[in-house]
Amino acid sequence: MKNLILSIIIASLLNSSSRYTNFEGTWKSYSTKYTLVISKSENQNKYKMVNYKIIKIKRCSEDGGYFEAIYSPEEFVKVENGNLYSYVSWDDFGSFHCDVVYEMINENKIKATFSGDRNLVIFYYRSDDESDCSLMDLYHIQESINICQ
């Protein structure tokens, strides 16, 4: 009986810690043009969230233009009860601030609940196409970058 109880406890601990690794990857939503990339830092309890969209900038009618990545300034806060917590602060756009809770619905769907200056829920779906983020170093992004055609 002790072995059975011990096995159940170990299995539940393994499942809860592996649940966090499911957050890693590229996520897209029908509700926003932003793509969310979640990666785990070398410290097992810290994550990096990069939320970005690619827009095409044309300077004049003859110009082919260039692509620019616009980033949402999001900071990881903590991991708690199987959820990831972050904070978004857009000082440039009317001082928009929100707490965000990412909840794993299943291995291919997460729920992001925003509370603060805006209260909304966005469902993200795991994306197989990670080509957008392959050009970006997730731990060193400071500002928008230009990606030439």
Q: Are 31 and 123 a contacting pair, CB within 8 Å?
A: yes
Where do the H-state alpha helices sit in the chain? Answer: 2-21
Token representation of residue 11: 């299995």
The answer to whether residue 95 is domain-embedded is yes
Reference 120, options 60, 34, 24, 42; nearest CA is: 34
The answer to whether residue 65 is domain-embedded is no
In the prediction, which pLDDT does 16 show? 46
In the prediction, which pLDDT does 86 show? 94
Number of domains comprising the chain: 1
pTM of model > 0.75: no
The answer to whether residue 134 is domain-embedded is yes
The answer to whether residue 67 is domain-embedded is no
In the prediction, which pLDDT does 14 show? 47
The answer to whether residue 21 is domain-embedded is yes
The answer to whether residue 136 is domain-embedded is yes
In the prediction, which pLDDT does 103 show? 95
The answer to whether residue 135 is domain-embedded is yes
**Cα(57)–Cα(125) distance, rounded to whole angstroms?**
27
Residue 20 structural domain:
2-51+73-140
Q: What is the CATH number of the domain that holds 33?
A: 2.40.128
Residues lower than pLDDT 50 in the chain: 6-7, 13-19, 131-149
